[in-house]
Structure 1
Amino acid sequence: MKSSSNINITSILKLRSTYLLVSHGSRDPRPQLGLENLSQLLSQKLPDSFSAVATATLELGPAPLHEQISNFGEHTLSLGLTELQILPVFLLPGVHVADDIPTEVEIAQKTFGSKLKIEVRPHLGTQAAGLTNLLKTQMQAVAFLPNLLSPKWILLSHGSRRPGGNSTVEEIASQLSAETAYWSVKPSLSEQIDNLVRGGQQQIGIVPYFLFNGGITDAIAKNVDQLQQQFPTAELHLANPLGASVELADLIHNLIQK
């Protein structure tokens, strides 16, 4: 767990809660760096530029998530605050959001009893409209060669096997006039590109529905290079993942209870 704070008494009195951004966790350091940058951006939106904001991971962290929450809970109480809000930085409502995080929070809550209220806020993926706008920005940064045909886009997500777990992806893809593809379930990226090429599409953009660069986005880039060789008549372009930004911090700030 890492925190960012510039403590002063006036700011503490204006705060109701501390905030813990929870991500999946990765052996690759880049997602954690992106999460920490995001926590810094979020902290700037709280009273007097003060915040009690920290990051934690569900997996591959320094301790089980409930211990990370408990440690930050002790920090929360030391600030004279009695509320801790968990902000799940997840794009899909899969098992981690629905089951794993609430279970870890329940374990941590038992440590504090009535001294500290720990509340889980909606996950980041519920901010579909804002995420759609951010993805449009990533798409606009891609430069295609002049062509009479407009490019076709594929929104590539990790994907969820949970019933209804991909509904947000489908909703966003519809707003972007894009096809959907998934890294872990069907339809795959290669299947969707094949369908588009067979339909005469010459320019295809792929926008990753992922937060930060990491091992999976590296694998996606390698896969796109391979697919470019497989489909030489098509022009394939890969956009960047969302990345830490003021706009993404705004969406997380929307999750905070007013």
Structure 2
Amino acid sequence: MTTTYLLVGHGSRGPNGNVDTERFAQLWRQRHPERRIALCYIEYAETLLAAGLDQAAEGAQKVVLLPVILNTAGHVKQDLPQAVAAAKARHPAVEFVITPALGMGAAMFAVLQEALRGLQQELAQPDPQTTGVILLGRGSSDAGANGELAKMARWLFEANDHQLVDLAFTGVTWPRLETVVQRQVRLGMMQIAIVPAYLFSGVLIERIAAQVARLRAQYPQIHFVLSAPLGFAPGIFALLDQRAAQADAQAPGAPEIDAPAQLCGGHSHHSHHSHEHHHHHHSHASSACAHHHSHSHS
């Protein structure tokens, strides 16, 4: 059976915005030279969904859509199924399978954790109790998508010793980065590590860099560090491999693949820390979907 694996990027307004996505697709092709891999975008690009699906269906019996997108919001919930329904009508002999967006599960948590670890190294391993963390998302009108990112912030808090792990958004919803920084500075943070939950560079990543430059000037006593977009992390390629393998294993005519049951954790850690200077006791334990976080103040 000839299968086309169709990577679906979001698309970026900036002139160089889609360069990273194209590089990502090229790297994934190098990992799988035996596969027929194509790329299209939802918006702001030459090859959009309809044309991408038509090209992928040409000479194929099966087309596997792999959204290279973090959030399961409007584009993934509506645009992809609508485009595939139309493509099925145009190519009735071809089987189309939509895999879930990369999502906010255990695999993405591991990628975020690695980014945070890198920022701590960049800061020369300061006391996490005085190092604020800000997880910075795109922001969506879909409350569920924002909630998934909030879950990642919570998992980062549970898995580390940072006093503050906060969530901020670049648009659509609140709070914004400046507001959260102001709060963390007021609460005594000496360093602030900012982790953008973005895959690739583009207009918004450039805007974030400009905001951080302004914040550095505004708060010269605070050491700010900003991580790069996450798209080229090994964990992203591994997650895409997993999605493709699930689609390969799916029987023809089976219902669409649901996101794997990793949304309730999947990461397990057990650590015990005592911070006497804060009279603060943290105990973290997580197994399967049970999270326990207790504080006792002496």
Question: Under TM normalisation by the shorter chain, which class is it?
Answer: 0.7 to 0.9
- The Cα of 1:145 is off from its aligned counterpart by 5.2
Residue of 102, 106, 109 corresponding to 1:124: 102
In the alignment, which residue of structure 1 is the partner of 2:116? 139
Secondary structure in 2 matching 1:244: coil
Secondary structure in 2 matching 1:125: coil
Segments of structure 1 that go 5 or more residues without pairing to the other structure are 1-14
Segments of structure 2 that go 5 or more residues without pairing to the other structure are 158-164, 250-298
CA distance in structure 1 between the aligned counterparts of 2:205 and 2:27, rounded to whole angstroms: 23
Residue of 54, 67, 87 corresponding to 1:108: 87
- The Cα of 1:233 is off from its aligned counterpart by 2.8
| Contact preservation (8 Å) 2:71, 2:145 | yes
In the alignment, which residue of structure 2 is the partner of 1:69? 53
CA distance in structure 2 between the aligned counterparts of 1:206 and 1:162, rounded to whole angstroms: 23
- Give yes or no for the alignment of 1:239 onto 2:227: yes
Comparing 21-30 and 219-228, the one that deviates more: 21-30
- The Cα of 1:150 is off from its aligned counterpart by 3.8
- The Cα of 1:193 is off from its aligned counterpart by 0.7
Residue of 175, 182, 187 corresponding to 1:194: 182
Runs of 4+ in 1 over 4 A off after TM superposition: 145-149
CA distance in structure 2 between the aligned counterparts of 1:16 and 1:73, rounded to whole angstroms: 10
Spell out, residue by residue over 1:16-48, the C-alpha distance to the aligned partner (whole angstroms, 9 max, x if none). 6221010111133544232233223333454xx
Q: Pick closer, same or farther for the CA change 1:146–1:44 going to 2, 3 Å.
A: closer
Secondary structure in 1 matching 2:167: strand
Greater per-residue helix proportion: 1
Give the residue type in structure 2 aligned to 1:35: T
| Contact preservation (8 Å) 2:65, 2:97 | yes
Comparing 186-195 and 148-157, the one that deviates more: 148-157
- Give yes or no for the alignment of 1:22 onto 2:1: no
CA distance in structure 1 between the aligned counterparts of 2:17 and 2:238, rounded to whole angstroms: 19
Greater per-residue strand proportion: 2
CA distance in structure 2 between the aligned counterparts of 1:245 and 1:92, rounded to whole angstroms: 17
- Give yes or no for the alignment of 1:88 onto 2:67: yes
- The Cα of 1:206 is off from its aligned counterpart by 0.3
| Contact preservation (8 Å) 1:138, 1:241 | no
TM-score by length of 2: 0.73
CA distance in structure 1 between the aligned counterparts of 2:230 and 2:190, rounded to whole angstroms: 25
- The Cα of 1:65 is off from its aligned counterpart by 1.6
| Contact preservation (8 Å) 1:151, 1:202 | yes
How many residues are treated as equivalent by the alignment? 235
- The Cα of 1:237 is off from its aligned counterpart by 1.2
CA distance in structure 1 between the aligned counterparts of 2:111 and 2:212, rounded to whole angstroms: 22
| Contact preservation (8 Å) 1:157, 1:169 | yes
In the alignment, which residue of structure 1 is the partner of 2:201? 213
| Contact preservation (8 Å) 1:157, 1:181 | yes
RMSD between aligned residues: 1.9
CA distance in structure 2 between the aligned counterparts of 1:102 and 1:192, rounded to whole angstroms: 36
TM-score by length of 1: 0.84
CA distance in structure 2 between the aligned counterparts of 1:145 and 1:37, rounded to whole angstroms: 31
Report percent identity of matched pairs: 29
| Contact preservation (8 Å) 1:38, 1:245 | no
Q: Which has the higher contact order (CA 8 A, sep 6+)?
A: 1
